[in-house]
């Protein structure tokens, strides 16, 4: 369905919903839930435990199941909640403690009630007492009954949302425990719920997942998105057997479904993918509600309006457990209105009349007229997103030939490549170095592939994934057009594959080598003329055509540094450092790295961290690779007070030495001390030690001592367990 028609359908649906007030829906749904609970097809089952106490607990659980209350609110009849404190019970004083089992950063903890005869037990003792007791629970409370017996009630036992544990404390401080299943297993659901209904609920979960996306799923110690996704899944499963209890987050600061939907509408203004995902979500919600409503009417004997209200409430509130877009507002009002108009394919006259401005051309990638308008307004045709994806790549992804042609006519660069973004929570990408031609081979038709090639796209550039060998656009074409491909390119017919493959055939190695050499010369010429952007582009292309081209890498390291593209400079230089045997080139790469580290500090670029050891370490390595007088002077200039890096001083043989500390290149805890001193002084390891506060550390060892020039020597000390400068001391000469 086109976006315009889809949006119209959504608006009509919204108008129909608005014709019934939320209060009316809620009242109808509540009555429907009451009627449905009277015909529940599942009832809680005993998993473990027997006797009169467990019979009572099971009876109470079955009664609670028919209410709208959460299991965290479950309590046995006649019970009163009590504080965890010392009390009298049975054979003397009983002291209760709540043992917390660590979770995900304060959000996933589980708890156990521990009873003992001794107050103030330490954690180790509590952990020993906990063995064999009722299991850790997400929610746990202590109650006291009319018979003065204490009862612990926990829900979400061992992380299972459909487990309830009710335990009574005995006189000897053991527990009589009853474990109850509050939800059916998969086999019971499959037997009792029609396949069409299960499919409708699963489709709703998939549509919501597409909106949520995978990025950030496990990010942060609290694993917020992972917990939300799990909560949504559990709530959607409850739609099958306890829909009357799938209610909105009342008094919850994270909002309601209506608030989430408003945030989703704003999220849909990000771009074509988001708009399509949102439209699909809305349509799936309507389809799933209809299917589930029909099932509710048949299974529970509900009237049509009641079944619809209960279905709507249950599905919307279940999904709201996971999407949480309640505070999403990324764009100013005018920009949001313009984005919405473009994505809805409103008439150009209406779009031109709007006051907002949009720089993101991906918003208009399937609306060529709007795309041309945004370019006319000053949008950059090569502006990339956080992982380097350009508007031309979006045009290839959505097979938009006219948009691609417009972008190329306006100067879009066909050989731009993607990278791994710094923000690994908002993005979950592991593939890097993709080009528009890769996207075309994966998603587009022959016409767009040929257009890119005609405009200079290189078929030899290789995309990479987690260290695996690179893959060309031809490799992608073969993967995504193969018979039985899981994600086949829908725009290239089987009969067209051979022709497109012939177009994408990379040149031979000698041809690529010659082309790379020409590009290097072209890049150097552009650099000499002061055109840094062009120099960057052609040098980067040369490296993509011939990875490891040392002259291109050396040039790119310098040009990117001068252009302020420190990440690219560090990457090019590190490639030389890792692979070159030319001492002069390696030394220059280290020198450029020192300059980049001074400017950028610790930097992550394309999934690699640079500058952890700091610029002094890089200068030291540059001098080691090429121990010239100039590099020695440069190193001395940064290893004395005038360089601004001194952090401490030592008196060695009546001479004050300036000491500079820096991290090592790895994260193994090693640190380095740099001492520039007169060459007549020789630093002996046995004369270096630690004061009492640091005597558990191994003393530093001499990594290297080299004469920098006729009068200065650099001694480098390595501390394998870190260097505590405050504790470092010089021992008397033997």
Coil vs helix vs strand at 110: strand
Question: pLDDT tens digits for 532-590?
Answer: 999 999 999 999 999 999 999 999 999 999 999 999 999 999 999 999 999 999 999 99
Answer whether 380-506 and 510-611 agree in fold.
yes
Six-digit token string for 440? 């075309």
DSSP symbols for 268-286:
TTS-HHHHHHHHHHHHHHH
Q: What angle do CA 411, 519, 438 make, to 5 degrees?
A: 55
Q: Please give the C-alpha separations between residue 289 and each of 15, 201, 292, 312, 324, in angstroms, as whole numbers.
A: 17, 9, 5, 6, 20
Q: Please give the C-alpha separations between residue 223 and each of 229, 474, 680, in angstroms, as whole numbers.
A: 10, 39, 58
Rounded to the nearest integer, the mean pLDDT of the chain is: 85
Low-confidence winner among 32-46, 53-67, 77-91 (lowest mean pLDDT): 77-91
Per-residue pLDDT, 317: 87
Coil vs helix vs strand at 113: strand
Six-digit token string for 206? 């998939």
Give whichever of 255-264, 408-417, 694-703 has the largest mean pLDDT.
408-417
**By the 8 A CB rule, do 370 and 351 touch?**
yes
Assess whether pLDDT exceeds 50 at residue 518: yes
pTM attached to this predicted model: 0.80
pLDDT band (50, 70, 90) for residue 187: very high
**By the 8 A CB rule, do 477 and 500 touch?**
yes
Separation CA 629–CA 106 (nearest Å):
56
Separation CA 18–CA 8 (nearest Å):
15
Per-residue pLDDT, 697: 64
Domain 380-506 is of which CATH architecture? Alpha Horseshoe (1.25)
Question: pLDDT tens digits for 305-327?
Answer: 999 999 999 999 898 888 776 66
What 87-91 contacts at long range (C-beta under 8 Å, 24+ apart), as own/partner pairs, is: 87/150, 89/148, 89/149, 89/150, 89/169, 89/171, 90/170, 90/171, 90/172, 91/171, 91/172
Assess whether pLDDT exceeds 70 at residue 145: yes
Assess whether pLDDT exceeds 80 at residue 520: yes
Assess whether pLDDT exceeds 50 at residue 16: no
Domain 510-611 is of which CATH architecture? Alpha Horseshoe (1.25)
What 340-348 contacts at long range (C-beta under 8 Å, 24+ apart), as own/partner pairs, is: 340/269, 342/367, 342/370, 342/374, 343/3, 343/268, 343/269, 343/271, 343/272, 343/275, 343/367, 344/3, 344/4, 344/7, 345/2, 345/3, 345/4, 345/370, 348/373
pLDDT band (50, 70, 90) for residue 267: confident
Q: In terms of pLDDT, which residue wins out, 260 or 346?
A: 346
Q: How many CB atoms lie within 10 A of CB 365?
A: 26
pLDDT band (50, 70, 90) for residue 650: confident
**By the 8 A CB rule, do 351 and 373 touch?**
yes
**By the 8 A CB rule, do 568 and 560 touch?**
yes
Give whichever of 21-30, 86-95, 113-122, 387-396 has the largest mean pLDDT.
387-396
Question: pLDDT tens digits for 526-539?
Answer: 999 999 999 999 99
What ranges do the domains of the chain cover?
3-39+186-323, 45-181, 380-506, 510-611, 641-730
End-to-end CA distance of the chain: 88
pLDDT band (50, 70, 90) for residue 5: very low
Six-digit token string for 452? 């890119």
**By the 8 A CB rule, do 291 and 200 touch?**
yes
Assess whether pLDDT exceeds 60 at residue 381: yes
Phi and psi at residue 529, in whole multiples of 5°?
-85, 0
Q: In terms of pLDDT, which residue wins out, 585 or 268?
A: 585
Q: Please give the C-alpha separations between residue 728 and each of 216, 688, 720, in angstroms, as whole numbers.
A: 44, 7, 14
Rg (CA), the chain: 34
């Amino acid at each position: 369905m086109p976006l315009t028609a889809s949006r119209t359908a959504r608006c009509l649906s919204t108008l129909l919903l608005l014709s019934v007030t939320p209060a009316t829906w809620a009242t109808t749904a509540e009555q429907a839930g009451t009627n449905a609970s009277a015909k529940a097809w599942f009832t809680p089952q005993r998993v473990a435990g027997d006797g009169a106490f467990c019979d009572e607990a099971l009876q109470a659980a079955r009664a609670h199941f028919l209410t709208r209350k959460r299991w965290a609110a479950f309590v046995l009849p006649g019970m009163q909640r009590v504080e965890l404190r010392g009390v009298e019970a049975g054979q003397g004083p009983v002291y209760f403690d709540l043992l917390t089992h660590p979770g995900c950063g304060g959000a996933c903890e589980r708890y156990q009630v521990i009873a003992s005869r001794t107050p103030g037990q330490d954690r180790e003792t509590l952990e020993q007492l906990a063995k064999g007791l009722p299991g850790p629970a997400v929610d746990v409370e202590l109650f006291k009954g009319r018979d003065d017996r204490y009862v612990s009630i926990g829900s979400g036992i061992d992380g299972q949302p459909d487990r309830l544990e009710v335990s009574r404390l005995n006189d000897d401080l053991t527990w009589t425990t009853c474990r109850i299943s509050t939800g059916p297993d998969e086999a019971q659901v499959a037997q009792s719920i029609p396949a069409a209904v299960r499919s409708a609920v699963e489709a709703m979960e998939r549509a919501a997942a597409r909106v949520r996306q995978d990025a950030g799923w496990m990010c942060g110690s609290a694993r917020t998105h992972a917990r939300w996704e799990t909560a949504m899944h559990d709530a959607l499963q409850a739609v099958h057997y306890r829909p009357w209890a799938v209610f909105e987050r009342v008094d919850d600061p994270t909002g309601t479904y209506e608030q989430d939907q408003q945030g989703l509408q704003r999220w849909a203004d990000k771009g074509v993918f988001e708009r399509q995902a949102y439209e699909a979500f809305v349509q799936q919600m309507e389809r799933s509600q209809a299917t589930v409503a029909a099932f509710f009417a048949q299974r529970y004997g509900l009237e049509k309006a009641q079944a619809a209200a209960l279905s709507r409430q249950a599905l919307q509130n279940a999904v709201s457990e996971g999407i949480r877009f309640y505070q999403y507002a990324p764009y100013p009002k005018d920009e949001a209105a313009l984005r919405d108009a473009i994505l809805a394919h409103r008439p150009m006259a209406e779009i031109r009349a709007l006051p907002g401005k949009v720089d993101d051309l991906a918003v208009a990638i399937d609306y060529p007229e709007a795309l041309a308008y945004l370019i006319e307004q000053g949008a950059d045709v090569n502006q990339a997103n956080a992982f380097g994806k350009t508007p031309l790549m979006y045009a290839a992804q959505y097979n938009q030939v006219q948009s691609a042609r417009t972008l190329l006519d306006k100067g879009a660069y066909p050989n731009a490549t993607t990278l791994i973004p710094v923000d690994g929570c908002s993005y979950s990408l592991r593939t890097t170095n993709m080009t528009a031609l890769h996207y075309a081979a994966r998603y587009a038709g022959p016409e767009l592939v040929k257009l890119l090639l005609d405009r200079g796209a290189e078929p030899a550039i290789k995309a990479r994934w987690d260290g695996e060998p690179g893959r060309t656009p031809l490799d992608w074409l073969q993967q995504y057009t193969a018979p039985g491909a899981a994600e086949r390119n829908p725009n290239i017919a089987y009969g067209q594959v051979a022709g497109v493959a012939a177009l994408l055939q990379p040149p031979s190695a000698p041809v690529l080598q010659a082309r790379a050499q020409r590009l290097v010369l072209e890049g150097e010429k552009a650099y000499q003329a002061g055109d840094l952007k062009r120099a960057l582009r052609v040098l980067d292309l040369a490296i993509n055509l011939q990875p490891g081209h040392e002259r291109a890498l050396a040039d790119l390291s310098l040009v990117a540094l001068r252009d302020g593209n420190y990440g690219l400079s560090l990457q090019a230089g590190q490639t030389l450092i890792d692979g070159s045997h030319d001492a002069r080139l390696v030394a220059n790469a280290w020198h450029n790295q020192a300059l980049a580290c001074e400017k950028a500090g610790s930097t992550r670029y394309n999934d690699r961290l640079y500058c952890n050891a700091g610029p002094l370490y890089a200068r030291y390595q540059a001098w080691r690779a090429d121990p010239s007088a100039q590099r020695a002077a440069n190193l001395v200039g940064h290893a004395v007070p005038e360089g601004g890096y001194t952090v401490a001083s030592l008196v060695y043989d009546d001479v004050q030495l300036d000491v500079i500390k820096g991290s090592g290149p790895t994260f193994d805890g090693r640190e380095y001390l740099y001492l520039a001193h007169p060459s007549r002084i020789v630093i002996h390891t046995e004369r270096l030690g630690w004061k009492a506060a640091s005597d558990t550390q191994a003393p530093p060892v001499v990594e290297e001592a080299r004469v920098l020039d006729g009068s200065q020597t650099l001694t480098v000390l390595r501390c394998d367990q870190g260097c505590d400068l405050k504790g470092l001391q010089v021992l008397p000469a033997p």
